[in-house]
Amino acid sequence: MQRFHGFEVISGKECPLRLKAGDGFHLSLVSFPYNSNGHCSVHVSVEGKTYSICTLNSAQNILQVSTDLVFNAVQNAVFHVSGTGRVNCTGYIQPLLDE
């Protein structure tokens, strides 16, 4: 069964993704909270490497970005924001299927 999951990432602070073994997190949307502004990039560190997910910029009216990324507990994903402000990361937790 899928269930909603969301968290806030604040600029300059790490936000580790906490999942139970066997679960995956599908990151669907990265957005600025309501009535906030700024310019920031969202990154995720997975297995020792850091990747850029998206850049939000309220001055250019880029307030949210859709994604289609899945993370699991083994990856120990940690989210970061560089720039100003904070972002909301929303999606859903789902059981992972053995392949």
Q: What CATH number should be reported for the domain holding residue 62?
A: 2.60.120.340
Question: pLDDT above 70 covers what percent of the chain?
Answer: 98
**Pairing between β-strand 64-72 and β-strand 23-31 as defined by DSSP bridges:** antiparallel
Residue type present at position 68: D
Say whether pLDDT at 1 is over 90.
no
Number of compact structural domains in the chain: 1
Q: Residue 78 belongs to what domain range?
A: 3-95
Strand-pair partners of 88: 8, 31
pLDDT on residue 99: 54
Read off the pLDDT of residues 17-43 as tens digits, 9 standing for 90 and up: 999 999 999 999 999 999 998 999 999
